[in-house]
Every structure is written in C-alpha cells, then in structure tokens.
Amino acid sequence: MNRHLEAFLEMLVAERGAARNTLAAYQADLADFAAFSRARGTEPEAADGALLGGYLQRLSDLGLAARTAARRLSALRQYYRFLAREGIRPDDPTELLAGPRPTASLPKALAESEVTALIDGAATLPGLRGQQAVAALELLYCSGLRASELVALPLAALRADEQLVTVRGKGAKERLVPISQRARDAALAARATLVDKPRAKPVPPRWLFPARAASGHMTRQGLGLLLKDAALAAGLEPERVSPHVLRHSFASHLLGRGADLRSLQLLLGHADIATTQIYTKVLEERLRALVEAHHPLAQNRPEAGA
C-alpha cells in the first residue's frame, strides 16, 4: 500500500469513523484501479480523466453490475478529492466523469403475517437463545436497525421508563430511535436473564447480545444464524430472512400504512434522503391502489346502485 492511500484510509477513520469493512472495501476498489493504471504505465496518483474513463468502460465491458461500478467510482472520487485537498495533485480528475446509474430495486420485504410467524417461531427456541431471537426480531422490525447497530447495543441503550433506544450508527453518529412496548419488553426480558445468570465471576455483561467474540458482543454472522433458526422454527425459507430484509420490511410496511419519506429517513439513519427514495416504489404502489379504489373514474369500479 502506498503512503497516499494509507493516509486516505487513516482520514476515513479519523474524520468519518469508517468501520473495518468500509476500509477494506475502499482499499480493494482503489487497488483494482491502481492495477489497471499501472498496467498502462501510470501511477494512480497521476491518472487523468481519460484513464479513469477508460477504467469505467472496462468495468462495463466486463459486465460488472452498475451498482458495483458506481461504488468504485465513488471510492475514486473521494480519493482524488482527498489528494487535491492535501495538495498532492493540483486537480480532481473525477469531476467531469459520469458514472453508471444503478437501478433501484424494490426491497424484498416479508409480509406482515410472515413477520408475526417469525417472531412466534423464535419464541419456541430453547432458553436464552429463544429470548434473544425474539428480542432481536422485535427490535429489528420495530425500529429498522442495521445488523451492526443491533449487535453493538450496550445494556444501557434501553432508556429507563422510555420506549427509546440509543443507537450508534454509521460514522459513529448517535440517534434516538423509538421502539414498541413489545420490543422493549422482549429486550428487557433477555437483559434480565443475562444479568441474573449465575457466573463464576460476578461481572454483568456489557452488551445486550453478548458473545465470546473478540468484540464481546454477537457478530453479524451470529445474528444471521439466529434469524435462520427462527425462520426454520416458523416454517419460512431461511434464505428469505436476514437483518437487511427485516429493515426493508420495517420501511415498506411503515410507508404502506401512511408514513412519509422524511420521517423514514430519520428512523433509518440515512444521511441523505436520496438513499431513502428507493422506497418511493412502495409509495407509488400504495397511491396507485388508492386511486383505483376511490377515484370516481377508475376502471373496474362498480357503478353506483348496480
């Protein structure tokens, strides 16, 4: 790794609180371009717009998904802005580049009845695992938390006598998220079991979902396996259930029942409402159904008095 890339990654940690997975993704994307650039006799820090454009064309020729190509261009834009800001080069060669536009796909949400069945299935799992599964599902579905946000919830995140939870999201930004009484009760039950559990050393756990991992709390992979067990117990296909699917289900069901995008943006912790607009298709379907059901000239409506 060259010193400029190393300094860029250090900036992402210091200024933006970038997570390890985010750093790994940036490093991999920039390393791919560096290999392309050096194969054409140019160090990546000296690349011009033509070379960058050629790289994007190569990604297209290789059949890379538009979303992946857009992510790589985003990494390049941020890297060259950093180089220009630090005076390492006089310009930003990505300014005039037009990247591919990923096609927003409709989130694959579970039906409301399937979420209910999933929680009921989780309750049949034995012991503490069942309690944790119910608490995880209730919190994910009622709040739209990311997997990384849920597993890193400390015991103190549940506020006393309030249906709120303090969440540390992307970029180490904190936000207060409202939760249902059901979710609060499920989380408190799991917490009480953990605190009262007999131990050789009387040290209460720090995390709401503790584990023997190096972090001290459940990993995202561990959470995924917990949800798969709940899905099997509920008779659902495990491949259809994940923390991300529950986050999408939360958002889709809220919009379907009348919530607005701005409120949803705050609940999901999106920095830019453009990220939340992937759910506009859900709104479009709801509005279309509303018109078809209630507009006096909508097709297939029975005539008055018929």
Q: Which residue has the higher pLDDT, 104 or 211?
A: 211
The pLDDT, as a whole number, for residue 300 is 57
Q: Which of 72, 146, 217, 248 is catalytic?
A: 146
Q: Where are the alpha helices (DSSP H) in the chain?
A: 3-16, 20-38, 49-61, 66-85, 112-122, 127-143, 147-151, 181-196, 220-234, 243-256, 261-268, 273-276, 280-294
List pLDDT tens digits, range 241-277: 999 999 999 998 988 888 888 888 888 888 777 778 7
Residue in 178, 186, 190, 107 with CA at minimum distance from that of residue 143: 178
User: What's the residue count for the chain?
Assistant: 306
Strands 174-178 and 164-168: antiparallel
Interatomic CA distance for residues 168 and 151, integer angstroms = 11
Residue spans of the domains in the chain: they are 3-85, 112-289
Instruction: Say whether 247 is catalytic.
Output: yes
Q: Catalytic residue at 220?
A: no
The single residue of 182, 270, 281, 286 carrying the catalytic annotation is 270
The pLDDT of 214-232, averaged and rounded, is 93
From residue 47, alpha-carbon distances to 30, 38, 51, 83, 92 in Å are: 12, 10, 6, 12, 10
Question: Which residue of the set 71, 170, 228, 281 is catalytic?
Answer: 170
The structure tokens 């015991």 sit at 155
Pick the catalytic residue from 79, 80, 141, 279: 279
Q: Which CATH superfamily groups domain 112-289?
A: Intergrase catalytic core (1.10.443.10)
- Return the minimum-mean-pLDDT range out of 37-46, 86-95, 193-202, 204-213: 193-202
Highest mean pLDDT, choosing among 139-143, 191-195, 295-299: 139-143
Task: Single out the residue of 81, 106, 70 nearest to residue 12, CA to CA.
Answer: 81
Domain 3-85: give its CATH architecture: Orthogonal Bundle (1.10)
**pLDDT value of position 302:** 52
Sign of the alpha-carbon torsion through 33, 38, 41, 47:
positive
- Collapsing DSSP to helix, strand or coil, 106 comes out as coil
Catalytic-labelled residue, pool 244, 253, 281, 286 = 244
Q: Is 217 a catalytic residue?
A: no
Active site residue 294: no
Q: Classify 166 as helix, strand or coil.
A: strand
Q: Do domains 3-85 and 112-289 have the same CATH topology?
A: no
